[in-house]
Structures are given as structure tokens and as C-alpha cells.
Structure 1
Amino acid sequence: MDYDTIDDVYLAGKNPEYDAAAKKLLSSKKILAWILKYCVEEFKDCSIADIRDRYIIGIPEAASVPVLPDETNAVAKIGTDRISGERTEDTSVTEGKVTFDIRFRAITPHNELVQLIINIEAQRSRHTYYPLLKRAMYYVSRLISSQYGVDFDKAQYGKIKKVYSIWLCMDAPDDRGGITRYRMQEEPEYGNILDEKENYDLQQIVMVYVAHARADMENRLLNLLGELFVSEDDASRKKAELIEHYDIDLNENEERLVSTMCNLSVGVYVRGRESGIAETLRKTAVRFLNMGLSVEDVAKGTDLPVEKVEEIKKEIEEKKI
């Protein structure tokens, strides 16, 4: 049983149509610019307009860049506001191919010769069969190693580009949003022999936790993501909020994506409709049990109590008799 693949399918969301719409919306440079502003140090002093129009380069890639080694890297194209592709995980559980949700490059405002390779992952939950942070560690490692043969060759390690892996998690603990950064630090143990920061500051992970309930937070990115993916506003209200507070004018296609997300009662992100959520979790538990997962693993993956999973397993066994 390929547990990694099962996790990837589960994390793709409870409703594939919602999932595709959400990731396609995130692929817009209008949204990506806000994420870079608040998550990538190199852009903290830049305007949203400059990030959107000057620093994001090429076509950010979605669903086309494999995570696993020895698979072909997609080639970025130039001249569009949209990330190519609609889905980020394979539809087949048996193939075992895992791809980055969204990947793109950006040029830093201070050094035109340096590029950042950034991937963004949208997750329904931070609770998985494994620590999500370890998965993020693997992703930044892959983002660096996959540069071999593309950005550098043989012993040209000085050409390695800095990478970011940004994870948007829609289950903030205690409904309190937050942003946490993980990076490599230099700590002399004996003496004071130091190196240039650019030689070791090559990978950062940023975990973004979006609260379920609308909160009066000072962080504008968290409020923006909350409005897009958590609030119960209809599409027209969301569009008005985005224009008024974030100067984001959705085009016809983007507004249609928001409408799709609003019209679906169950999506990638848990919304508080308890009856719908309970039924979806039950179906997920049944599917995982039929795949041969243990009661404990199913409980972890669905957030259901072990007792409830045992009850579901008993029902399945009785039906087989």
C-alpha cells in the first residue's frame, strides 16, 4: 500500500472540483503577489504592484512539476498571468506520482541575477499520517536538487538558487491564524569563523495558518486568504471585499472560480457544516479501511475518534458476511 500516495489524494481535498478551482485561483499573480509580500523576506519592502508585474517571472507551474526524483521538470513559459495546469495531484491512486501544487520563479528586487524558486502548497489540514513539516523539508530539498542539469551542472554549486516552500493550512489551531518560518541559521560553536549568508540561506519553509472564523487580524495576507477560502460571503461580496481592501479586481474567469467555490458545500477546507463534513469523513474512512489502512491510521487521517473508526470498520465487516 502506497501511504504517501494515499495522503496526497486525501490532501487534495474532499471535493476535486473545489480543489481545482482553489488552486487555479491561487495561480493568479494578483494573489501570489500578496503571498510573496508576507512570506518571502526579499519582497517585504516591495509594493504589491511591483511584485505582481515585475518580479514574478514566466508562467508559474501547477500540476506539471513532479516532486519525486528522476522525473522531467516542466519548462516555464513567458507572458501570462496564469499558472499552467489545473490540478496538482494525479487522479490515479495507483500511479504514485506526486507533484507540487504551484511552482514558479521570482527575481529579487535587489539582485537581478538571483532568482528564487518558490512552491506553494494549499492544504486542507495540517494533520496527516506524518509531520507535515517533514514533508515540507523534503519538498525544499527536491526544489534544490532538481536544479541540477537546469540551473547548474557538474561542480557549479555556486549557481544553486534559493528556494521557498510555502504551505497554506486552513485549520489554524484554536481558530487563531499565524505564520511560522523555518530556515537554516549560522551558529559558531568555537571561534568566530563565518561564511556569507547567501551560501547557506538557500531554503526556507513558511507555514501559513488561516483561521476558520473571520478575525480582526493585523496581518493582511491572513485576512485575504480568510476572505477567499473561509468566509461564508457569496461571490459578489467576496469580489467587492477584494477590490475595496486589497485592490484585487477579479476578471471574469477568476470570479467564476470564486463562484464555483462558493456554490460547493464541501471543499478542500473544512467549513463548519457539521452534517456534510461528518458524512464526507465517514466516506473517506470507509475508503481508507477498504484500502487496508489500520484503524489508528484512518483516525489520524480523518480526525475521527478511534472508537468511531472501529464502529465504521465493524459495519463494513458485517456487510461482507
Structure 2
Amino acid sequence: MEGIIEKSSSNHKLVLDNYCKLIICNEEILSRLVKCFIDEAKHLTLNEIERLIKEKKSFHHLDKENFIPYSGKTNYDFLCTIDLSQRIYLNIEIQNDPNPGYSLITRGLTYISRIMTTQWKNEYYDYDYNHIKKVYSIWILPQSAKKNDGHINAYKIDEININGTTIERIETYDKGVLIMIYLNKEHDTNEKYIIYDNILTPLVAFLNNVLSYQEKRKIMKEYGFNVIDKEVEKMCNLGEMIEREAIQKTRKTERINSIRNIVEGFQCSLEKAMDILKLTDDERKEIRKYFQA
């Protein structure tokens, strides 16, 4: 299925990409990501986090387009702030290509830097750097290699005493965390991940079109999802439509090649070749249009 999607139109891939983004910003997925990976939310229950996300006072969607003069424009998949013990900036990215030709780690760190920079005039002014808010950037790679399935890496600034005993307060440098989540689309959803299975298995199921809609519904029920059904169903329907179109295109290509081989091999007319293959009237019209083009 993934191979079929790769060969589909750019418009189809764009729509699928948008459905993936809708899924990750769904409150049920988002609350689990926050619970698992944001340190400042570890003490909260899943229900408490969901309530925070629903509250306009504590949760804000931010503009996904980021422009910095002389530094260009970046479009985030998802960006928000959550007010916990302190305000947290959360960026989530879906990266289907695990090897785009550059380091995703470096790109992720760049995103964190940009989000910090654009806090100016919102969280801090001029040299009031103490008010810069911590940024989390979570990157989900749903089509990673099988050997990396379930791997999770975190990157952040830490203090190392090279000489002396001076210790700085952690909040002065703990301003950015990059988290990379590696998943494989062929993961057996009957097998549990060692840690964070309550979010990793749903991500595998919902972000890839390997499973059918009914199989995904089974995952929803097993893992306690209630309101994400609509996004998953639309994504499955689009995936099935793309697959049908790709199959029809493949069959048409095979038919054209067969006719060409008959015409050239038997030195016969196009009409005779179509008679041999017993094509329907509609198929004949389509074939004539192709050879007349």
C-alpha cells in the first residue's frame, strides 16, 4: 500500500499528509504524547491532560508558518503551547522519509532554535532571556527501518563540570528537548512495545495504511480511543481510493502493453488486437484514445 501511495498523485499524498496531521493533533493522541514525553506533565493523569488541552486558557494552537527575516520560512506540522507548571511550547512533526539526505536530528534542533527565537515579543523582550519558555519538538517517523522499530532518542542541553564545582540552576539551560520516535509500518500490532505501548501502537496503526479500517477500529477499542474515529476512517477511505486508482492504472498499462505486443508480433491492426483480447466497448474507446494521442 505504501508503495502505491508513493506512486500516486501529489494531491493525494498532500491529503494523506493532512490527515496524518489531523491525527497527531487529535486530543486523544496529543494527550498521550504529552503524558509520555513532556517531563512537566509526568505528574498529571491522562484525563487531567485532556482537560487542559480542551481549555482555551491553558492550551493554544499557534500559527504553523514561521518566518524569520533573513532566515527564511518554516512550516510546522503542529505547534502549540500548554500551560503546566510553566508554559511549554510543543512542536510535533510527522516525517515519512527517514533518510531525506540530511540529518533529521540537526533539522529538529533547528526547529527548536527557531521556536525559541520567535518567542521574542511574546514571552520576552530584548535581554530578558530568563522568560524564554522551554520547547519540545517530537518527531515521529512511521516508516523507519524494522531494526529501529520502537526506538526513542532524546537530545537536550546538559551541564558538564569540566573544572570546579559551580552548578547552575537547571531551568537556566534546560530550554529545548528533541525527541525522535522510530516506528516500522510492518510492526505486528499484537506485540506490545516494551515502553509507551499505549501511544506507539496507535501511532503505527493510525499513521500507516497497512491495516484496514476494521483492524484500526479494533486498536481504538483496545487502547481506549473514543473520538479519533472520524480522522482514521477518512484516511482509510482515501487510502483505499488511491489503491483502486493505482490498480486500475496498472491494469490499463498492462492492457496497452499486451495490445502493442500483439500488433507488433502478429503484424495486425489495432482493432484485430482488441478482438483477440475480447475488450469491451468502453475499453476499446479508451485504448483508441491512447493510441490516437
Letter in 2 for 1:60: H
**Alpha-carbon shift at residue 145 of structure 1 (Å):** 0.6
Pick the aligned partner of 1:164 from 136, 139, 144: 136
Change (3 A) 1:212 1:249: same
Contact 1:22 1:261 in 2 (8 A): no
TM-score (norm 1): 0.64
Q: Distance in 1 between matches of 2:187 and 2:229?
A: 26
SS at match of 2:65: coil
Q: Distance in 2 between matches of 1:127 and 1:134?
A: 13
Report what 1:206 is aligned to.
Answer: 179
Pick the aligned partner of 1:98 from 74, 80, 86: 74
**Alpha-carbon shift at residue 262 of structure 1 (Å):** 4.1
Contact 1:13 1:124 in 2 (8 A): no
Query: Counting helix residues as a fraction of each chain, which structure ranks higher?
Result: 2
SS at match of 1:98: strand
Contact 2:66 2:74 in 1 (8 A): yes
Report what 2:231 is aligned to.
Answer: 254
Output one character per residue of 1:220-242: Cα deviation in whole Å (capped at 9) or x when no partner: 12111111123633223312321
Pick the aligned partner of 1:43 from 41, 45, 60: 41
Pick the aligned partner of 1:121 from 61, 84, 93: 93
- Count of residues in Structure 1 that have an aligned counterpart in Structure 2: 227
CA root-mean-square deviation? 2.7
Report what 2:103 is aligned to.
Answer: 131
Q: Distance in 1 between matches of 2:116 and 2:100?
A: 24
Report what 2:26 is aligned to.
Answer: 28
Gaps of 5+ in 1: 1-11, 72-95, 267-272, 277-321
Change (3 A) 1:119 1:159: same
Letter in 1 for 2:45: S
Contact 2:52 2:59 in 1 (8 A): no
What percent of counterpart residues are identical? 20
SS at match of 2:66: coil
Q: Distance in 1 between matches of 2:83 and 2:107?
A: 26
Select the structure of larger CA radius of gyration.
Answer: 2
Alignment of structure 1 residues 142-153 onto 2, 5 Å: 142-153=114-125
Report what 1:232 is aligned to.
Answer: 210
Report what 1:178 is aligned to.
Answer: 151
**Alpha-carbon shift at residue 97 of structure 1 (Å):** 4.1
Output one character per residue of 1:266-317: Cα deviation in whole Å (capped at 9) or x when no partner: 7xxxxxx9x99xxxxxxxxxxxxxxxxxxxxxxxxxxxxxxxxxxxxxxxxx
Gaps of 5+ in 2: 1-9, 251-293
Report what 2:66 is aligned to.
Answer: 67
